[in-house]
Structure formats: structure tokens, C-alpha cells
Amino acid sequence: MQFYRIKQFYWAVQSLIKKDDFAILNKYLNSEQLNLFMKISKSERQHSIRVCKSAINYIYDKNISNIDKNKMSKCALLHDIGKSQVRINIFEKSFVVIMNKITLGSFLKYNKIKRISNYYNHPRIGAKLLRDSGEKDEEIIECIEQHHNEEIKEKSIYLKILMICDNCN
């Protein structure tokens, strides 16, 4: 797990969007969604693109045929748009993750700092942003809103794949 966190830190520091990444964005997002996507930090954008690519590969690797690739890609690309409302830099994020790990979740549970609270409530914020932008597909909105909720028993195939791919990127 520690190596994974170091890898995440490295990805965040060197995050650059490549030409083929713009092709993915233009293929799956409309202009309103692209506008929301571009408001998140560069490292979060790159993370979301990696999640999207992983989700598409997962669908092919597992030979899943009953899934809409466009919907899955949209879920993956937009899952962190709620982070656009509050930004914390990579050093602050690293500190919060470490403190939360050391305190077994108590750091976030009792934290009253609005920036940190909002950062960890980004799924709910993102779902609201998506609804406000005119998204009508409730399954996409649910994926954005629930992508960190491990307690959900009945998950759609889109949410399952999103959670798997988000956790490994």
C-alpha cells in the first residue's frame, strides 16, 4: 500500500495530458461535461483519464458485453469533478491521507476544516454539479455520488467497475 501511495504522488507531480487523452475527452464528454472536467486539477484530470482507460481495458479483459462503453467512460472521466469546488495540493492531500490512516479514520470523522471536509465529500458535490449541468442519466450520477461508498450492497456494473479502476489508479 505504501508503494502505491508513492506511485500516486509521482503521478500527481508529473501529470500531463497527452494528445490521445484529448481524443478520449472529446469522444465521451459533451462541452458542458468537458468544462466541468477541465475545472479539476491537472493531476485529478490525469487520474480520471487513467481510470477511464483502465475501465475500458477491464471491460475487454473480462469480456463484459452488456455494458455501454460510452456510459462507463463518462462515469470514469467525471467521477472526481466534485474536487473542482475545493482544491488541496498534493502535499496537503498526502498529509491528510497519512493522518487518516494513522488515526484509523478519526482524522476525517472529526475534522472541521471546510476544505478537507469538502474534499472528502466530493462525490456528493460532483453528483450535484452533474445534475445542475443537465445530466439526465441517473446511473451516471449515482456512480459519481457513490464511488467511495463501500457499504452499498447493490452496485450497478458501472459502479463496480468504477470503484475497482479508481482504487487501482
Banded pLDDT at 128 (limits 50, 70, 90): very high
- pLDDT per residue over 70-105, tens digit each? 999 999 999 999 999 877 877 887 888 788 788 887
DSSP 9-63: HHHHHT----HHHHHHHHHH--HHHHHHHHTS-HHHHHHHHHHHHHHHHHHHHTT
Domain boundaries, the chain: 20-85+123-167
